[in-house]
Amino acid sequence: MSHERPWLANYPAGVPAEIDADAYPSIVAVLEDAIARFRDRPAFSSFGKVITYAELDRLSARFAAYLRGELGLARGDRVAIMMPNCLQYPISTFGILRAGLTVVNVNPLYTARELDHQLRDSGAKAIVVVDNFGHTVEEVFEKSPLEHVVSTGLGDMVGGAKGAIMNFVVKHVKKMVPPYSLPGAVRFRDALAAGARHPAPSDPIDSGDIAFLQYTGGTTGVAKGAMLTHRNLVANMEQAAAWVGGNLRPGEEVIITALPLYHIFSLTANGLVFTKFGGLNHLITNPRDMPGFVKELKKTRFTAITGVNTLFNGLLHAEGFDQVDFSSLRLTLGGGMAVQRAVAERWKQVTGCTLVEAYGLTETSPAACINPMDLPAYNGSIGLPIPSTDACLKDDEGRIVAMGEVGELCLKGPQVMKGYWNRPDETAATIDADGWLHTGDMARMDERGFFYIVDRKKDMILVSGFNVYPNEVEDVLAGMPGVLEVAVVGAPDEHSGEVVKAVIVRKDPALTAEAVKAYAREYLTGYKRPHIVEFRTELPKTNVGKILRRELR
């Protein structure tokens, strides 16, 4: 190592300095190991319906057989998933992986413009979509590379009368399913039945195969797919398991999965790590419905919960949350965005459990730093680099800065992505010649090896754990008649950490903030839309005419 690693001396007892990234040849091997050990234990629950590890095994194998045998997809083909948390999610994900294919997670709230980009960029040949979002797929289907659509109702895997009633209520009472027409679409349950007629695919998966094309804005611009291999995720599962494993009881954990599984934090921490330990993922489909969420929590003896600051803050302010039974809760993990001290302290007070902050990126599968599990109280730090992870802070010239100085946080480890899909230039701009991934986050390290995020180097805006890239929002707003110039920056927000602020020079003097927001609703998903719209006569610029976002901040 070219520099010291002071954090190793401060690792919690029993946590090794290194893990074996090749402990399993693939995510599928980890899953099959868990299935063998925990066959009869519950694996996932949603709307009161529970599936065991044995059922997850059977259903995901059928879905894999359908994709390869019935649809004729070939190894390495991409399959998109566009769903909120429901039982179909893990069945599809594990089915796609078992078939030797690549999962492309799509935010179901995406507009047609956003979905169109992701499908074309990834070259996805098939998509699994919940009926609520079928209309978005219909809008882009003709121009997309899609050849197959599998559609499903939210209640389909709940089954029986309850599932049928759920589907009816969602569609006709709550009016949450805009009408759509995708003539060739196959229903999810029919796909599973068809899969049962084919042998389960058994060709070996290589640890270097791409498991997920996980879309992110990276450090710049338009969304691109981080290529996360089976080895990247096996490594991150082993790293997280080494870090939290001593605190978990195999086959007995119940984790609340409220963050969407399409988000890398929930995908790895909940969907993969807890599955490895034979835990039960209790899926929350709509965590924004706080009364419904609290009701679920009251019915569940949960041992762990992950979330972002916004989610914890929302729960703490939700009616009835203080009456939840927290006697089994032993792990609260916060990530995705900075955890605020006030929220962490109140969480500890109400639940009796320390809110442990972690740090990661889509590009690192995601975990890179985690605080010790036995942390007595919130410390404002993102924690220590986890096993087999190296970290350093560099200045603009690429030199490592002195202890206590601020520099750009750079990371190295087996969990670092292979690169960005079809974008060698972007990959080279993010991962330097020595293999360091540049995070774009400015940080400092104390003498014990704890890291503290100070600020962001890049212009990215972080809204409740979701990345927003100013240029994407600017491109959309610049297309609005009446807008002469626009710059987008992050503005601090008590609730979501940051919100999007648009500063506009008008071409049409009659242009209103409300009109700008209405226009944004058409092309941008919720968290990317400007929350604040400000009008100015001119924007600050450099002498070459580049807009100075930092002056606007």
**Mean pLDDT, range 515-527, rounded to an integer:** 95
What CATH code is carried by the domain that includes residue 508?
3.30.300.30
**Between 404 and 255, whose confidence is greater?**
255
Residue 529 is predicted with a pLDDT of 97
Whether the pLDDT of residue 544 is over 80: the answer is: no
Q: Which of 262, 256, 206 is nearest to 234 (CA)?
A: 206
The reply to whether 102 falls in a domain is yes
| Cα–Cα distance, 456 to 369 (Å, whole number) | 17
What pLDDT does 503 receive? 96
Residue 550 exposure: Cα atoms within 13 Å on the Cβ side: 5
HEC string of 460-506 equals: CEEECCEEECHHHHHHHHHCCCCEEEEEEEEEEECCCEEEEEEEEEE
Residues 411-422, mean pLDDT to the nearest whole number: 98
Per-residue model confidence (pLDDT) at position 35: 98
Q: What is the pLDDT of residues 79-132, one digit of tens each?
A: 999 999 999 999 999 999 999 999 999 999 999 999 999 999 999 999 999 999
- For residue 176, the domain's CATH number is 3.40.50.980
**Phi first, then psi: what are they for 541, rounded to 5°?**
-135, 160
In a domain, 76, yes or no: yes
Residue predicted with more confidence, 457 or 543: 457
Per-residue confidence (pLDDT) for residue 279, from 0 to 100: 98
In a domain, 366, yes or no: no
Angle at 543 between CA 537 and CA 544, to 5 degrees: 100
Query: Could you tell me the pLDDT band of residue 1, with boundaries at 50, 70 and 90?
Result: very low
Structural contact between residues 228 and 235, judged by C-beta atoms closer than 8 angstroms: no
Helix (H, G, I), strand (E, B) or coil at 172: helix
pLDDT in tens, 45-81: 999 999 999 999 999 999 999 999 999 999 999 999 9
pLDDT of 219 > 60? The answer is no
Q: Omega before 145 cis (within 30°)?
A: no
- Per-residue pLDDT band for 217 (boundaries 50, 70, 90) equals low
Flag whether 256 is in a domain: no
Distance CA 296, CA 305 (A): 13
Phi-psi region of 130 (alpha: psi -120 to 50; beta: other; left: phi over 0): beta
Query: Does 3 have pLDDT greater than 80?
Result: no
Q: Does residue 496 register a pLDDT over 70?
A: yes
3-state secondary structure 372-407: CCCCCCCCCCCEEECCCCEEEEECCCCCECCCCCCE
Count H helices, E strands: the chain? Answer: 17, 26
398 dihedral zone (left: phi>0; alpha: psi -120 to 50; beta): left
pLDDT reported for residue 336: 82
- pLDDT range class, residue 470, cuts 50, 70, 90: confident
Q: Which of 205, 230, 257 lies at the terminal end of a domain, its last residue?
A: 205
Buried/exposed code over 370-408 (b: 16+ C-beta within 10 A; e: otherwise): bbbbebeebbebbbbbbbbbbbbbbeeeeeebeeeeebb
What's the pLDDT band for 221 if we cut at 50, 70, 90?
low
Q: Which of 156, 177, 205 is the last residue of a domain?
A: 205
Q: Token pair 């870090």 is at which residue? A: 243
Least confident range from 12-21, 69-78, 459-468, 538-547: namely: 538-547
H or E segment to which residue 533 belongs? strand 532-535
Tally Cβ neighbours within 10 Å of residue 229.
Answer: 23
SS3 state at 358: strand
Residue 453 placed within a domain: no
To the question of pTM greater than 0.85 for the whole model, the response is yes
Q: State how far the Cα of 385 lies from the Cα of 146, in Å rounded to an integer.
A: 40
Q: Is residue 132 part of a domain?
A: yes
Residue 380, φ and ψ in degrees, nearest 5 = 75, 5
Pick the residue with more confidence: 175 or 457? 175
Q: Which two tokens stand for residue 388?
A: 């087999």
Q: Where does a domain end: 185, 205, 225? A: 205
Inter-residue contact 474 to 253 (CB < 8 Å)? no
Decide if 354 is inside a domain.
Answer: no
Q: Is residue 286 pLDDT above 90, yes or no? A: yes
Q: For residue 141, tell me if it sits in a domain.
A: yes
Mean pLDDT (the chain) is 94
Tell me: pLDDT of 415 over 50.
yes
Closest CA to 364 of 467, 214, 224, 245: 214
pLDDT score at 545: 62
The span from the CA of 392 to the CA of 444, in Å, is 9
pLDDT for 475-487, tens place per residue? 889 889 999 889 9
Please give the tally of structural domains in the chain. Answer: 2
Checking if the pLDDT of 2 tops 50, the result is: no
Look at residue 245 in the predicted model and tell me its pLDDT. 85
Neighbours of 224 (CB within 10 A): 25
- 188 has pLDDT over 60: yes
Q: Residue 297 is encoded by which pair of tokens?
A: 């929590």
162: containing domain: 27-39+49-205
Measured CA distances, 87 to 26, 43, 106, 432, 443 (Å): 22, 10, 16, 40, 39
pLDDT 10s digits, 368-406: 999 999 888 889 899 999 999 999 999 989 999 998 899
Token pair listed for 58: 């059977």
- Residue 549 has what pLDDT? 82
Asked if the model's pLDDT at residue 473 lies above 50, the reply is yes
